[in-house]
Amino acid sequence: MPELPRRYRDAQDAVGLRPSPRTDWAWLLLLTVLTYAFACAVRLADAPAWRHPSLIVGGEYIAATHDAYAWLAGALGVGDFTGYAFTGLTRFLLRITGAEPGNLAFWGPAFLGALAAPVTLFWGWLLGGRTAGLTAGLLGAILPGFFVRTRLGYWDTDLFTLFGPLLAALFLACLVGLRTGRFGDPAERSRPVSPLWALAAGVVARLAALPHSDIFRLDILAFALAAPLLLVFARGGERRQGLRDLTVFGLAAFAGWRQGDPSWQYAVGLGAAAFLAFAERLPSPAARRLAENAWTWGAGLLLLGLGIHILDPAWTLLEKAGVYLQPVAENARTAAGGPLWPGITQSIREARVVPLDDLLTRLSGSLWASCLGLLGFAVVLALRPEAVLLLPMLGLGLSSIWLGNRFGMFAGPAVMLGLGVSLDFLLRRVLRGRRLEAFLALVGQGLLAAVLALPLGDMYRGLPATPVLDRVHAETLQDLGLMAPPDARIWTWWDFGYATQYFARRMTPTDGGRHAGRDIFPLALALTTPDARQAAAMIRFAASHGFDPASEWDRLPAAEVQAGIQGLDRIAPGPWAGPRQYLVVTWENLELAGWITFYGCWDVTRGQGQGMRAKRLAENFRLDRDNGTLNPENASFPIALGGLDVLSADGSERKDYGREKAPRLLINPDRRDAFLVDAALARSMLVRLLLDDPATPDLAASFHLVLDAFPHMRVYEVR
């Protein structure tokens, strides 16, 4: 049997080079600068798409993701995210740079998102030596799955969600490699390796995981794989020292990691890690004997695993998968016969599932490269067992076909490492011992990176700017913040909740963190109903119940809840003594109208909803104003209209053609935009409060117009 391990070692040594910091540091420094600069440059190339006055408000760029405003508002002391680590980082960067918050959120992703590039480079170096990581380093941080979530303006925790697990897994692979003979110069193996390296690595891994708790979960999964990897491949004293290193790392990285754990738990864990790092130097002979026994460290590692609930991350990720796979309605009623509330996941863009061929294309930019990369990763995994620590990220990335496109970012680096390191294995095998071996290997890596980068450049060159709201919307919210009392609540669709909190400096009942079906139902109904009195009554009812009326409805039979909701319009409003309630209606809601009305029409007894229809007319169309017919391009027959609105602040044109059940055409020339909405949606508050005369008796009885940016946006105070 000893023959088999020897042959395996020979196969490992026959390809690639041994990573050695002492001899490779100059290469690594040069390639680190190169890969980081390239990843920054690719993101900064987005800037010309944003050079338009409509994308700038008060000297600040509008952010490209809604969640950016959660962190910006939190950094200014507004909202629910004031105490989070990423908010603290935002506040710190604002202080030291003096930048406007919106500009930090715009430019920051170019520099933080690029951090994943050198980490991927170092992974390639660890697996294959000096040149093996160049392709992966150049491309690992700009692959589609990660790039589209870290473009300019995407100030969010995704900037660390890939970087953090990659870094922690790299540290663990190095710690294991030190004890299994795969890492470092063999000439220096006689030197003892200080456990302070494990302590420092644990502290840095923890700092990189602070922006998002899911980073900890991926780190712990890699940690759970590192222990058996060490036990299998390390021998004798190296195994004992490796177990000690993992224990020290785990305490420094994971003590008190769960949200809500008191801070003293981490202080104790860090202190214990520092103490154990020097356990073998204790003055007590008995203590030293314990520290020199591998079973002591094995037991300590087992206790650590139990203490940090090492299986929690796997269960949590499975629970999240259940949420993303959840059907239209939440399954469990809160009480026997209680109301059924709608699920939200199906309406979130980032949770949409990805077909397998599309997923593979996103991993590297091309289907063939991804397939070769996955095959190459299998080869790398066979020859470099430490690559197993990348499997949690690779598996999560491939799960996009079930869980949605947001997870696609995790698989890209492993796929690129599969391609780049396998190519380096092949080149080193062919060129071994020849002149210019290193140079030719580097050229091969560069050519592969260029071949893969060219289609990515074509793909990214056409990407448009993606502001989360328009300039008029942002400026109107700023005006609202100047007039609304500090305790006022602003009712706006949850997609714009964080942005409203930032621009208006006022809280909203719903946002990206409070958008479960039960949370958004009151506002959805208020925007969907054709009855202004019912809409206002629903907002007042929700406000009087702590903006969580579902908590009271949950105690009632579903039929009684449904009847109460339908009867809100018959309740005579009394004097309102609570904080002022403002309702925002925007043209942008038309794009979301299908989902808004799906939730607004929800029947809590049957657990079903039916959204109204709104279709943006992206193609050319011919309009017969006199006869009220619409002829979209490539349509086989004309569409008879029930009405027409051509909207402008300077004067609007309105026509009614007497067809009550026919759709209505809404044209906004200022935005070069048009929507065809069905008759029910045309009668909803979503459309009427935006487009009808605010003095119309039924509207004026329930809502008072306070800010008018017709036809783009209006803000009402609920009477």
What is the distance between the alpha carbons of residues 281 and 290, in angstroms, rounded to a whole number?
Answer: 11
Give the per-residue pLDDT at 331: 41
10-residue mean pLDDT profile of the chain (719 residues): values are 68 75 89 96 94 94 96 95 94 96 97 97 93 93 92 95 96 89 61 82 95 88 91 82 88 81 81 80 63 68 69 55 50 64 67 67 83 94 93 87 73 94 88 77 91 90 92 97 96 97 97 91 96 95 92 90 85 76 97 94 90 87 88 81 90 88 93 94 97 95 96 95
The answer to whether the Cα torsion of 155, 156, 158, 164 is positive or negative is: positive
- Number of continuous H segments (helices) and E segments (strands) in the chain: 33, 14
Judge contact between 584 and 491, C-beta under 8 A. Answer: yes
User: What local confidence, expressed as pLDDT, does residue 115 receive?
Assistant: 97
Residue in 25, 34, 29, 18 with CA at minimum distance from that of residue 141 = 34
Question: What's the token pair of residue 326?
Answer: 């959840």
On the 0-12 / 13-18 / 19+ scale of CB atoms within 10 A, 315 is exposed
Predicted pLDDT of residue 283: 65
Place of tokens 């060159």: 461
What per-residue confidence (pLDDT) applies to 367?
86
What is the reported pLDDT for 232?
86
Q: What is the 3-state secondary structure (H, E, C) of 210-261?
A: CCCHHHHHHHHHHHHHHHHHHHHHCCHHHHHHHHHHHHHHHHHHHCCCCCCC
Q: How far apart are CA 411 and CA 143, in angstroms?
A: 10
Residues pairing with 615 in the sheet: 676
Alpha carbons within 13 angstroms on the beta-carbon side of residue 433 total 1
What is the predicted pLDDT for the residue at 267?
87
Closest Cα to residue 417, out of 682, 76, 169, 213? 169
Residue with tokens 């202190």: 271
- In terms of DSSP bridges, do strands 664-668 and 703-709 run parallel, antiparallel, or are they unpaired? unpaired
**Domains and their CATH numbers in the chain:** 3-327+351-461 (no CATH), 471-612+679-718 (3.40.1380.40), 614-677 (no CATH)
Token pair for 139? 């491309």
Determine the pLDDT at residue 239: 84
Handedness of CA 481, 486, 491, 494 (dihedral sign): positive
The predicted pLDDT at position 440 comes to 87
Note whether 538 and 566 are within 8 A (CB): no
Residue 59: per-residue pLDDT = 94
CA distances from 96 to 40, 90, 108, 394, 673 (A): 21, 10, 13, 36, 42
Cβ–Cβ < 8 Å for 151, 109 = yes
Answer whether the bond into residue 711 is a cis peptide, omega within 30°: yes
